[in-house]
Amino acid sequence: MHIEIIGAESLGVRGLCCLLEAGARTILIDPGIALGYVRNGRPPHPAQVAVDEAIRDQIKRAWRLATDIVFSHYHGDHVPLLSANPYQLDLSEVADLNPGVRIWAKGPESLSASLTACLRLKTL
């Protein structure tokens, strides 16, 4: 078994994306990323933007390799988003990278009432 930590709260870039290789399976866990778009009235520091871009590239590389992708929950630092800001991973960046990958995630019946009310779920 091999575990690669792709992004873990690095320089203000939120997320905990991991790639797990176990036997014939390559499992990508929580492939999202988030960096505060405007924090305290200021845009992200250029060093944070560079880390964000590096992690985004690593997530895309891992997405191509994955046999399975797991989303633990639907926050933007754990999943690609339909309308991402420039410092999050947009669904359009990964949607066609690995069409045969198996996706594991909660279905709408498992979500809290408050989350169901504010989310519009789409399948990849």
Tokens at residue 107, please? 């279905």
Count of structural domains, the chain:
1
Buried b (16+ CB within 10 A) or exposed e, 74-98: bebbbbbbeebeebbbeeeebeeeb
In a domain, 63, yes or no: yes
Please list the pLDDT of the chain residue by residue as tens digits (124 residues): 999 999 888 777 888 999 999 999 999 999 999 887 777 888 889 999 999 999 999 999 999 999 999 999 888 889 998 888 888 999 999 999 999 999 998 876 666 665 555 454 443 3
Q: Can you tell me the distance from the alpha carbon of 36 to that of 44, in angstroms, rounded to the nearest whole number?
A: 7
In a domain, 13, yes or no: yes
The predicted pLDDT at position 121 comes to 42
**CA nearest 93: which of 103, 84, 101, 104?**
84
In a domain, 123, yes or no: no
What's the Rg (C-alpha) of the chain? 15
In a domain, 55, yes or no: yes
In a domain, 74, yes or no: yes
In a domain, 124, yes or no: no
In a domain, 80, yes or no: yes
In a domain, 32, yes or no: yes
Structural domain range at position 11:
2-118
**CA nearest 71: which of 101, 32, 118?**
32
pTM of the model: 0.84
